[in-house]
Structures are given as structure tokens and as C-alpha cells.
Amino acid sequence: MLKTTLSAALLATTGLTSLAQAAETLEITRIELGQAGIARYAMQGAILGNSLSFAIPQEAASDVLASLIVRDPAGGVIDLQTDVPGAERTLLRGTPFANGVQADTASILRALIGQTISIGGETGTTRGLLMGVNRVDAVENGQRVSRDTALMLSDGQMIDVVLAPGAQISFPQEIAETLAAALQAKSRDTSMTQFDLTLEAMGPRDIQMSYVTEAPAWKNSWRLLLDEGRLQGWATLENLSGQDWEGVQVSLTTGAPVAYRRNLIDPRLLARPDIKDLGPEPVRAQKDSAALGLLSLHSSGTAHQRALKGTAVPLVPSSGAARQGQAEQAHGLLRYELPHKIDLAYGRSTTMLYLDLQVEPEIHALYRPESQDERVFLSVALHSETPLAAGLISVQGDGGFVGDAPFGGALAGHSTMLPYALAPGSKMLTTVEDGTELASLKLSGDQLHLTVLRSRITEYQTDVAETVARFTVDHPAHFGKVTQTNGTHNKRPGADRITVPVENGKGLIRVTETTTESGAIPLEARSVLRLLRDMQNEGGTVAPDLVPVIDRALDLYAQIERVASQRKTVEAQYAALSTEQKRLRDSLETVQQSALRQRYLETLNETEQRIADVLERTDDLQTQTEQLNEALVAVFREL
């Protein structure tokens, strides 16, 4: 029989709690069920010598080889052996039954074509070489029937022997032994894998073993009894381990440990690359070319590299038994010890109460602006000093079922909010008021650095039933830092949770947030004036210490605008006078009468004098503009 052997180096022993219960075979005594589809089975058994055999469901065989831990108080482990899957088929290779044994006579005989057999019936026995198996139609007792026949070569003659009911077929001894081996291989129970464990020590003693494998994840559900102030945890689990559980201690764990599926039970046969014949090859001359003719020998080959990557997966060590009904928190997992040992037949499911806590639930009206539009939910504020696993909570009051609350779990000492139903008749009124304040101005070189303080005041108002104790809002944490509120403030991922008492069926929450923006602008009038104009348009305010500076700047800005308006008027006058000047000059070229020509000359002189006055005025206004701009810049330079 072909065997798989696991060396003692891979069976490192660790401590498992001794249960000191003798048994003739290994029995499951403890199970750690996880919510990630992984379970740890602990077994114990009595042993008299240095060997022990046990059976495991076939689908868990590789996991046993990968994770088995053995503890023998008297010594170590020599090896662990098991049958190689498919080994029986390998032994039958090259025999008539290499493809298995069929269930009918004709098919078995077809596998024996070319063998010497004997077929006996009512007309006698025929011995010879089997040539083939056919099916023919025959008449028996006046009825037409189909019969299988064996075509045999006997004493130099071909004989068609009818395989009538009751026919006796004899084989040579080696054929009979091969057929028996094939039948044994076919009848072997493939649902279980037997392991043979060899230990170093002798003598009667108890040993313990454990392994990690796939198992149905346990399912959690909660019952919150509002009128009694109780939170009950119920676990649903299934026994698909391959054997009944009798008096098994079960612990439940949460978390998502890394675990891989490994195949250590099936043989791994690596294909070797083909290589061409290494004998002598014919030598061929290459075709002549303009360059020197070369005679070359080329060898080529193909290499196939197979990378086998293994990942060591750390397993959470088993802990000692916790107190009944108590929860533990360690290694990133929650662990619950069921208060009683359980009996559960293979293929059965059970739902058990594993935790029963006294709590003080408080009813809140909960509003979540980003997820609920204008809807307000009735919610339970729940605090527990015991770690709680994730699961759906069925909330029930003195009047019966009131709603389900999705629950993502909580660590010990943490609080959570559990919305379970819409608050009847509640309407949400939300108002938002934004403000902007120029907080500071600092001059650095030719850049004016400014700080703008933006604020937002948000109010939430709602009407709720008088039975609701508090009003809570998960205010989105997108605008800035909460600097003031009229309720208790707790920071949450992506939100600020604000809670206030409900008074006379009304809830009001006010939240003030601020954020600071910094920037820089060039120190020139146009940019500064644009900043001030933007502040005015937004209804912004100015820090008190900046008010005198801003007032002076705004006064200079008003003067600059008045000068700019005057410049536009003067520029328009200049354009009109220039047009008149051109018209008069054009007319002088065509007028010959001396009196009329004299009048045109007088008018042209007056026009050109006015143009000179306008140009002088333009220069004056330009000078004023430059002086005002310098004064405006000087105001900020004083900072």
C-alpha cells in the first residue's frame, strides 16, 4: 500500500488543555468556530502503545497534514501516514481492470479479451481464448430475446458461447486476484481518510490533537429587550464535521484571519521537459555569401522553471477555557465561550443563547443628513463593557417587535447608535448660515498675505414623541472644525455626533464650524481693490484691528474711482475736439474766400487751445491716480 508520510519535524507539539478522559478512539472534545469559515477541532483519545489510527473527512485531509498539532505527555511524534489517493488505480495500471470494474458480465468480459477463461452452462463448459463479446438476438421458448455471447478460440475452433442466466465464468488465479483488488479499490470508503500516527513512547496514556480546517461560519443574531433592559446573543451553527458531537465544548470567534487552502494529500508529479536525441547530427554547410562562409553548430534547449511559493499563516493559539457565558478580546478577535457543552448529531444545526447582558438602552431621535434625507429614525443608544460581535439586532419592546437594527459590532467600553424604525410624525428643519471674515493682513515683500476665517452655523430642529429622551445628529464633518455647540460632542469617522435632551417633544441642535483659508495677492491697487470688493459682495466682515486700515483703503479706492470717472470724461472731450480739429483743417484746404477762411482759422485756433487744456487736464488726472495708488499701497505697507 502506498503511503503519505509527514515527518516529525512538521508535527511540532504545543500545549493543549488535558481533559483526562479516556476513550478507545479519538473524539472531538473542543471546537473553536470562526465567522471566516475556519474552525479548530481539538480531539483526545486513549492509547496503549505507540500507534493510533483515526479517520477525518476526506475534504479536511490536506488541512490535517498542514495544521495538525499533537501533544503526547510521554514523548514526541515519529510520523503520520495515510493512503495516497488513487494509489489503487496505480497498482491496477497495465491490468485488464486499469479503468475500473463495470457492473455487468459483458463489460467485465470485454476487459478480459485476449485472456484464457472458462464459461460453463447447461450444455457444458467451454475453455479457450476470449476473442470478443457480441450481442445477438435469439429465440427461447418461442420468444425473441437478446443475449450476450462470448466469441472464443478453443481447440482450433471459434465458438460463440451464449451467456445465459446462471453461466459460470472461471479465470486464472492471477486474473481473479487482480479483479478482487479492483473491487476493493472500488468499494473503499472515499468519504473519510484514515491516518496512522506513530509516537515515540509506549504505555497507556491520553493524547490530544488539534487541526484547523474549513467549517460553516457561525451566524450571530441579537435580541434587545427594551422593557427588560437585556441584550441577548444567539449563535447558529452547523455540524458538518463528519461525526457526532457529544459533550463538546464550543467557543465562538470573530475576525478575519488569513487562511489558505492547501493540497498536501494528493501526489505532486512534476513534468520533465523533453530533450532532443543527443546522438550525432549531420553537419551542413551554409550557403556561400559575400562574407566568409561559416560552418556553425547550434544547440537549443527549453527550460521550464516552476516557482513554488509558500506562505506561513500564523494561527491564533488556543486559549484556556473562559468563564461560562463570558466574552474575551485578544489578538484582534472576539471569543465567546458557550456556557454549556453541546451534543449535536452530524448534519444537524443548533441555535444557542451564548450571551445575556443587562444593559440600559436609551431611545434617541437620530438624524443622519448624508444618508437619510429629511428622515428621522428612532434609535437605541447602547453601551456595553463586554465586546459585542457584529450581527442583526431584533429590537423588541413591551408591545412586541419594533424593528431591526444593523450592528457592526463594538469593542468593550464603547457605545453605539442603533436605528431601528422611522420616528412617526417627525419632520426635520435645517438652516445654514455662512459667514466670512478677513482675519489678518501681513505684508511680505511685494506680496500681501491674507487670512480669511469662514464660519458656518447649522441648526437642526425636529418634533419627536415625548417618549424620546434625546435628539442626536451625525453632522457631516466636511466644512471645518466644530468650535461651538449646544450639546455633547463626540467625534466619529466622517461626522460629528451632537446630542441634546428633548424638551417638550422638541429637539434643537446648533453647530458652529470654522475653517481658515490663507492666500497672497500682489501689492498693487487693482488686486487689493478686487479683494475688498469680493469681501463686500459676500457680505463678509473684517477683524476689528483691520477696520481702520480697510476704511482708509476704501476711501482711497473711492477717490481712485472718481478720478477714473473724470479721466473717462476728459478722454471723451479729447476725442470730440480731435474730430473737430480734423474737420476744420480739411475745410481750410477747400475754402478760397478770405473772410470765410479767416473764421475757420479762428475756430481752429480755439479748438487747438481747448485740446491743449484737455491734455493738461489728462496729465493732472494721471498724476492724481498715481498718487492715490501709492497712498493705497502705503496703507498696507504700514502693516
DSSP class of residue 597 equals H
| pLDDT of res. 277 | 60
Q: How confident is the model at residue 59 (pLDDT cuts 50, 70, 90)?
A: confident
Q: Pick from 505, 457, 497: which is nearest to 473 by CA?
A: 497
DSSP class of residue 503 equals B
String of DSSP letters for 77-142: EEEEEEEPTTHHHHHTTTSTTTT---SSHHHHHHHTTTSEEEEEETTEEEEEEEEEEEEEEEEETT
Number of other residues whose CB lies within 10 A of the CB of residue 134: 12
Q: Is the pLDDT of residue 336 over 80?
A: yes
Q: Which residue has the higher pLDDT, 259 or 306?
A: 259
User: Average pLDDT of 589-608?
Assistant: 85
User: Average pLDDT of 9-22?
Assistant: 31
pTM of structure: 0.63
HEC profile for 159-216? EEEECCCCCEEECCHHHHHHHHHHHHHHHCCCCEEEEEEEECCCCCEEEEEEEEEECC
Q: Is the pLDDT of residue 345 over 90?
A: yes
Q: Which percentage of the chain shows pLDDT scores above 70?
A: 84
- Between CA 318 and CA 64 the distance in angstroms is 17
Task: Say which range, 157-166, 406-415, 617-626, has the weakest mean pLDDT.
Answer: 157-166
User: Average pLDDT of 457-469?
Assistant: 91
Number of other residues whose CB lies within 10 A of the CB of residue 288: 9
Cell of 68: 495538525
| pLDDT of res. 185 | 65
Pairing of the two strands 400-407 and 415-422: unpaired
Residue 396 neighbours by CB under 8 Å, 6+ apart: 223, 224, 225, 226, 402
Residues 258 and 428 sit within 8 Å (Cβ to Cβ): no
Rounding to the nearest 10 degrees, give the CA dihedral for residues 110, 114, 116, 120: 30
Q: Pick from 476, 453, 465, 605: which is nearest to 543 by CA?
A: 453
Q: Is the pLDDT of residue 108 over 70?
A: yes
Q: Is the pLDDT of residue 194 over 60?
A: yes
Residues 418 and 361 sit within 8 Å (Cβ to Cβ): no
Number of other residues whose CB lies within 10 A of the CB of residue 244: 15
pLDDT digits (tens, 9 = 90+) for 536-586: 777 788 888 888 888 888 888 889 889 999 999 999 999 999 998 888 888
Q: Which residue has the higher pLDDT, 372 or 425?
A: 425
- Between CA 183 and CA 200 the distance in angstroms is 36
- Between CA 55 and CA 111 the distance in angstroms is 34
Number of other residues whose CB lies within 10 A of the CB of residue 426: 21
Q: Which percentage of the chain shows pLDDT scores above 90?
A: 38
Q: Is the pLDDT of residue 92 over 90?
A: no
- In total, the chain counts a number of residues equal to 639
